[in-house]
Amino acid sequence: MDRSGDPDVLADLIGRRLTGQPGGLYRRLADSIAALVGSAELPVGARLPAERRLADALAVSRSTVVAAYDELRARGLVESRRGSGTTVARSASRGRSTADRRIPTGYGESLFHRIAVGPGDVIAMTYAVDPGIPEVAAELADLAKDELPLLLQDVGYHPRGLGVLRERVAEHFTDGGLPTSADEVVVTSGAHQAIALVTQMYLRSGAAVVIEQPSWPGCFDLFGAAGGRVVGVPLDDAGIRPDLLEAAFREHHPAMLFVMPTFHNPTGRLMATARRRQVAELAAKYGVVVVEDNAYSAWDPAGPDIPPPLAAFAPKNAEVLTIGSVSKAVWGGLRIGWIRAPRPLAERLARHKALADLGSPIIDQALTARLLPKLPEVTAERARLATARRAYVGRLLAERLPEWSWVEPDGGSALWIRLPDTDARVFAQIALRHGVEVVAGRAMDPTGEHDGHLRIPFAYPERVLDDAVDRLAGAWHEFRRHGPAPGVPVV
């Protein structure tokens, strides 16, 4: 669906371009739109949002948007007609290639778009990852010396995954309380691909998928692209609410339940042991496939005993698939994840994996196999850093932004902040112009129930956290003093 006229979507696409550029704000806005018009994002004939609606989405004055549209008309890029609004002019397509297909726009797309654009001078708090651990370099050097000659003799195609890595993943699950054999493991290119493969296997157009509310932004796009209907179920302190979950199962007859039981993103909650058993039993009762994503299990600031994966509590007739990866614990650039599933399901998943890419990179798999036995030691160090950084950013926020509130997370890598009487998406646009990018609640819950929330990751060095909170405080001062749009002069 073409959403080019949606002011919120356009604001997400151009918001970063408004920061750190010379010239008046209206001219920067015109330049930002000009960079998109005539392309696959704003094709010829696409309608631009009404001036007031775009002003509200960008948290600027209407006069700023009016001046920007005037500038675009003067350049011959857009045209306006009474009753039809402002549209991209036919002349805007000259010199543009139409070969590039438009990426479907959704709640997570703008997040990935920003990652692709790069941070520039903006502190990008849209994702939370630490640099790679030192052991990566050491193990890679040893791998090149000891194993590379043998690996080069291998055909290199392993849709199920390298045998030694599947054995190590199975040992990892078994040590964590979920007995697993190597033939129940399929290796993927990160947790993201794991979710995508499961989605391909289970979701059909019109089928419902139940998720926690709020949830990870990317899942809305993955499930939506498969034609799925997302049904959100709220959380309490112990995890997804079983009473509302059963009601959703009865009403929607979903094909799949997607949960993050170990340090849920974005709230950081740890699903209780008893709740894991309840969820598994309910899913078995209603014949719903459970997909649990435990990619954040390495982030454990509080140091509790983490319960076994939800699959450990599942009745024999249940279908539970457990996803994990090393990206958060070891390095985001090591794109290796896995799915643990009953043997027949693992075989089906391996066929989907073969169709996707014939297998994940073999050298990355061999490196992960070397690192996996060290994961407990690595996660302990990550936990120490996370504990210190969470406490540090908490003190900064309490001192400089005392109106903001949050519930201390059980783990994870971020604080789920509640802003008083504020649309966080509007505030995020002002924060972006102050040089810090944050994820507003609407990206994680399109129902509007969490529009007043922000996700603030703390997986950054203290100097970066200090600078980011300073910028957020400046943006909050501007927002509270002037409001989001009215009264802000054209710059």
Q: What is the tens place of the pLDDT at every residue in 158-210?
A: 999 999 999 999 999 999 999 999 999 999 999 999 999 999 999 999 999 99
- Among the ranges given (17-26, 58-67, 390-399, 416-425), the one the predictor scored with the smallest mean pLDDT: 17-26
Percent of the chain at pLDDT above 90? 62
Q: Is the dihedral of CA 225, 227, 233, 237 positive or negative?
A: negative
Residue pair 211/219 in contact (Cβ under 8 Å)? The answer is yes
At 457-485, the pLDDT tens digits run: 998 999 999 999 999 999 999 999 866 54
430 membership: H or E segment, kind and range: helix 424-433
In angstroms, the first-to-last Cα distance of the chain is 34
Strand order in the sheet with 229-236: 185-188, 337-340, 320-325, 289-293, 256-259, 208-213, 229-236, 239-240
Predicted confidence at residue 128, as pLDDT, reads: 74
Q: Return the higher-pLDDT residue of 61 and 15.
A: 61
Predicted confidence at residue 102, as pLDDT, reads: 44
Nearest to 321 by CA among 248, 250, 261: 261
Percent of the chain at pLDDT above 70? 88
Mean pLDDT throughout 132-141? 93
For the chain, the structural domain boundaries read 7-105, 156-374
Query: What confidence tier does 101 reach under pLDDT thresholds 50, 70, 90?
Result: very low
Say what the pTM is: 0.83
- Please state which CATH number belongs to domain 7-105: 1.10.10.10
**Does residue 47 carry a pLDDT above 80?**
yes
Nearest to 233 by CA among 282, 188, 273, 277: 282
At 59-85, the pLDDT tens digits run: 888 888 898 898 898 899 999 887 778
Predicted confidence at residue 461, as pLDDT, reads: 92
Predicted confidence at residue 4, as pLDDT, reads: 52
Mean pLDDT throughout 277-283? 97
Predicted confidence at residue 204, as pLDDT, reads: 92
| Whole-angstrom distance, CA of residue 290 vs CA of residue 275 | 14
**Does residue 111 carry a pLDDT above 60?**
no
Query: What confidence tier does 20 reach under pLDDT thresholds 50, 70, 90?
Result: low
Cα torsion through 173, 175, 177, 183, rounded to 10: 30
Query: What confidence tier does 127 reach under pLDDT thresholds 50, 70, 90?
Result: confident
Q: What are phi and psi of 257, to 5 degrees?
A: -115, 125
Q: Looking at residue 93, what DSSP letter applies?
A: G
At 369-385, the pLDDT tens digits run: 999 999 888 888 888 88
Predicted confidence at residue 130, as pLDDT, reads: 78
- Please state which CATH number belongs to domain 156-374: 3.40.640.10
Average pLDDT, the chain: 87
